[in-house]
Amino acid sequence: MPNTPAQRIMRQRLIPLTVIYLAGCLAAMLFINFAGPPDIVVYLISLLLSVPLVACIFVIWRYVTEEKDEYIRMMFVQNMVVSTGFTLAVTTIWGVLELYADAPALPIYYTLVIWCVGLALSHLYRRIFA
Amino acid sequence: MKSRLKVLRAERDWSQADLAEVLGVSRQSVNAIETGKYDPSLPLAFHIARVFGLSIEEVFVDPNADDA
């Protein structure tokens, strides 16, 4: 994928958010394990930890609106549609497995992870076959 | 949609990267338009035509021309 100015800006926004999220996860894990805070504090910490992830979704939306190269934007949007379909398919299949085959419950948190995997797979498919 | 982009580019001895730079798009975009994988928007088609000093019809081949 070429490096458009909008892609560089997206990367510059995603990297610090990822670092903040990972550092936050580590700090939260240590704090919760060693300080044993009350439930309400754990809830607040969890909500705070989700902020950088939600911000990542916002950054992706900003990228789509800021990308000036219409062909690159179209490909990215198509990849997003594919990854959304991939996520719906995986979560639906897993849901049915949970319902009828007693498969272990899939944490909702993984929805974003699955979506990102779908985005990467769609991008990879285009690179190899398109 | 077919276009004469490759021919027009060759006449000026421009690479895809040269044309992409003039248009302010990626080389992949120029390649996709040249190979007919992607139909440019009207503003981009006008921009391309303007760069070559031609009308849109002189750059792009109307796929429904025979139907008219």
Which residues of chain A have a CB within 8 Å of the CB of B40?
A: 70-71
**Residue at B28 is within a domain:** yes
The gap between the terminal CA atoms of chain B, to the nearest Å, is 17
**Residue at B26 is within a domain:** yes
Is pLDDT of A80 > 70?
Answer: yes
**Residue at B64 is within a domain:** no
**Residue at B17 is within a domain:** yes
Burial class (CB in 10 A: 0-12, 13-18, 19+), B48: buried
Select the residue of A4, A68, A71 nearest B32 (Cβ to Cβ). A71
**Residue at B29 is within a domain:** yes
Name the residue with higher pLDDT: A130 or B27.
B27
**Residue at B67 is within a domain:** no
Confidence category of residue B67, pLDDT binned at 50, 70, 90: low
pLDDT at A36: 84
Total of domains in chain B: 1
pLDDT at A18: 94
Confidence category of residue B45, pLDDT binned at 50, 70, 90: very high
β-sheet bridge partners, residue A82:
none
Is pLDDT of B48 > 60?
Answer: yes
Which residue pairs, CB below 8 angstroms and at least 24 apart, start in A21-25?
A21/A49, A21/A52, A21/A53, A21/A56, A24/A48, A24/A49, A24/A52, A25/A49
| Residue numbers of the domain that contains B18 | 5-59
Task: Compute the average pLDDT of residues A35-41.
Answer: 87
* Distance (Å) from the alpha carbon of B10 to chain A's nearest alpha carbon: 22
Prediction ipTM score: 0.86
CATH number for B23:
1.10.260.40
DSSP secondary-structure letter at B41?
P
**Residue at B31 is within a domain:** yes
**Which residue in the block uniquely carries the two structure tokens 């996709």?**
B32
**Residue at B49 is within a domain:** yes
Which tokens belong to A85?
A: 């379909």
Best of A71, A75, A126 to disrupt the B interface (most B CBs within 10 Å) is: A71
